[in-house]
Structure 1
């Protein structure tokens, strides 16, 4: 599926996947880090995927937050080309690109959605200024993307529910289709759901509620960040040790 019309169709299909879901059935989006892992998840039957910037960075040999923009866009485009399902891309804070240029590059990559965060250099961006930036991005991209606005209060040392809600509302007013309060405690999800009238993205952690539980708390979609890539790396380390030690790995 290629070309602008195909990309627009995938974006429309991706947006629809967020709505009309039962509470116990949130949209679960595995995070592929390269074309091969994307194909595995698509072949397993997932209706859409969401790349994690940290997982893609690791696959390219970079620390999280240090991937050059050109390499990130190229990697995302390869993932998009590898599967027929919609792909959302985590593009961190937009790599310092002006909103119009960022929108053009995102659309050229063929993604159906994008995560854009409000954290920068270990701190939070000014919320009003970030909302204006998102509004410019939204105007440039039109409706051809699902814009998921990440709220980084809980990962930038501001664990304040009221500030999280304030930022989420500003970003929704700017045109965000969904909000993603990364690392917000699960018990906060019902309050966020009540205050923000767009799909809510929850981050699944190994010792936290499963997707169905997060859905019942108010999440419309569930993502895993780089956790799946890291699990795959641990499994590969075990295989490497077995090979080094001369053990059978069949």
Structure 2
């Protein structure tokens, strides 16, 4: 790749200053390169998409596995990559800080930290602890002057706490603790999104696409800075895979294969990345 990590991070921060951009989520190097070839300005990893590609469920990855994946994803493209770093792979702030330092070392331009834990009965960290975890992540990023962007996520709407007031309270506290961008996956109505944007202004807000009728222009009009897809691109790819596989098995036909992306175009995009063996 020809773009330095420092430049990727500077470019990423610039994208958050004005306008609204789409942040698609590839789960491998090929997807990252295809998205770059289409003209996207930045990418985000997807823990769900990568986990499924490994035959695991979401949140079924180890920290070292995700770090290796992020390293490969960042090396595959000239675009800034925002890491879906789940909950930081630790409960305590010191553990989060240690893992954030490792994540930044992969070359990511930004990373997100969730306030979700592994306790099904009480899936969100206590308010005070969740704020301290974001503050620890902020201090870890600042310690080496890496310039990586910190995204704080409130997972209430995805875990049964669909309380907008509490979500906003958490996001405001995360902002004050040093988050550069705020994210509450699951909010979807104009009223919810507008309220979040207003509450954390002038910090940028990320919105997750939940329905296929979502329009970037509408989100931009609400003040949203960036739009991500989570595991939706991965689900779309698996959808084509499963439709073709079921047709072969159940009907003995192959018509779904006609919807595949042209191999010639894939070859054209990937050709510059072929590593030729050196002459002996």
Relative to the length of structure 2, the TM-score reads 0.82
1:154 corresponding residue in structure 2: 157
Contact (CA 8 Å) 1:128, 1:170: kept in 2 or not?
A: no
CA distance in 1, matches of 2:165, 2:224: 18
CA distance in 2, matches of 1:204, 1:71: 26
Contact (CA 8 Å) 1:186, 1:217: kept in 2 or not?
A: no
1:204 aligns with 2:198: no
Q: 1:247 to 1:161 in 2, by over 3 A?
A: closer
Shift of 1:237: 2.2
1:107 aligns with 2:104: yes
1:141 corresponding residue in structure 2: 141
1:8 corresponding residue in structure 2: 6
1:20 corresponding residue in structure 2: 18
The structure that has the greater radius of gyration is 2
CA distance in 1, matches of 2:97, 2:33: 31
1:43 aligns with 2:50: no
Contact (CA 8 Å) 2:80, 2:108: kept in 1 or not?
A: yes
Relative to the length of structure 1, the TM-score reads 0.91
**Higher relative contact order (Cα pairs below 8 Å, separated by 6+ residues):** 1
Shift of 1:218: 2.5
Matches within 5 A, 1:35-114: 35-96=29-90, 98-114=95-111
Contact (CA 8 Å) 1:204, 1:211: kept in 2 or not?
A: no
1:218 corresponding residue in structure 2: 223
2:132 corresponding residue in structure 1: 132
Contact (CA 8 Å) 2:25, 2:231: kept in 1 or not?
A: yes
CA distance in 1, matches of 2:81, 2:16: 13
1:180 aligns with 2:183: yes
**Residue 191 of structure 1, aligned match among 191, 195, 201:** 195
Deviation sequence 1:65-91 (CA, Å, 0-9, x none)? 111111111112111111000000101
1:247 corresponding residue in structure 2: 254
Contact (CA 8 Å) 1:151, 1:167: kept in 2 or not?
A: yes
Runs (5+) with no aligned partner, structure 1: none
Runs (5+) with no aligned partner, structure 2: 259-280
Shift of 1:108: 1.6
Shift of 1:242: 5.3
Q: Which runs of 4+ in 1 moved over 6 A?
A: none
CA distance in 1, matches of 2:166, 2:80: 32
Contact (CA 8 Å) 1:7, 1:144: kept in 2 or not?
A: no
CA distance in 1, matches of 2:54, 2:227: 25
CA distance in 2, matches of 1:240, 1:40: 24
Q: 1:129 to 1:243 in 2, by over 3 A?
A: same
Measured on the aligned residues, the alpha-carbon RMSD in Å equals 1.8
1:163 aligns with 2:166: yes
